[in-house]
Amino acid sequence: MDIKKELEKKIERKKDDIRALEKQLAEASSYLEALEDMRKLLPRDAQSEPEITLRTGSDLANVREVLKKHGKPMHVEELLAKLGKPVAKNSKTSLSGSLASYVREHKIFTRPAPNTFGLVEFAETNKAEPPENFGEPSES
């Protein structure tokens, strides 16, 4: 019978060890959850956000290059002319809509004036003036 008592004691000690380890695991899980909650409260780093890239050769990538070379915002009609696209209502609407989707998200492009687009990287002091022919009917 001594063997049975010894075995019972060993079983109880193991159960106590398991309870202690489970308690330790619960405390570590709570601590980890608190750390994750704290991380959510911190502001995002600009560096941690992935850089937005435009597909090479796309109209939007070409518009970005034109704007970089020009150095200031341009009217959509000027952009279409620089891209070698027809300055027609449907092409203006298409390009304006594509650019506007980035403007709404405050990514890559800005809209400092109606139908005039610039780059976010342009300095705030570089306020855009409307193009010379702004408000005049287009010839298309």
The structure tokens listed for 70 are: 């020009």
Q: Which residue has the higher pLDDT, 140 or 34?
A: 34
Q: How confident is the model at residue 61 (pLDDT cuts 50, 70, 90)?
A: very high
3-state helix, strand and coil shares in percent for the chain, rounded to the nearest 5 = 55, 10, 40
**pLDDT score recorded for residue 41:** 85
Regarding whether 32 and 77 lie in a shared domain, the answer is no
Q: Which domain holds residue 27?
A: 1-42
As a whole number of angstroms, the distance between CA 58 and CA 83 comes to: 11
Domain count of the fold of the chain: 2
Regarding whether 33 and 93 lie in a shared domain, the answer is no
**pLDDT score recorded for residue 125:** 44
The structure's pTM equals 0.54
As a whole number of angstroms, the distance between CA 99 and CA 108 comes to: 9
Regarding whether 64 and 33 lie in a shared domain, the answer is no
Regarding whether 119 and 62 lie in a shared domain, the answer is yes
pLDDT at 81 over 90: yes
Regarding whether 27 and 83 lie in a shared domain, the answer is no
The structure tokens listed for 86 are: 């027809």
**pLDDT score recorded for residue 13:** 96
Strand order through the sheet with 74-75: 74-75, 116-119, 109-113
Regarding whether 58 and 36 lie in a shared domain, the answer is no
Regarding whether 108 and 66 lie in a shared domain, the answer is yes
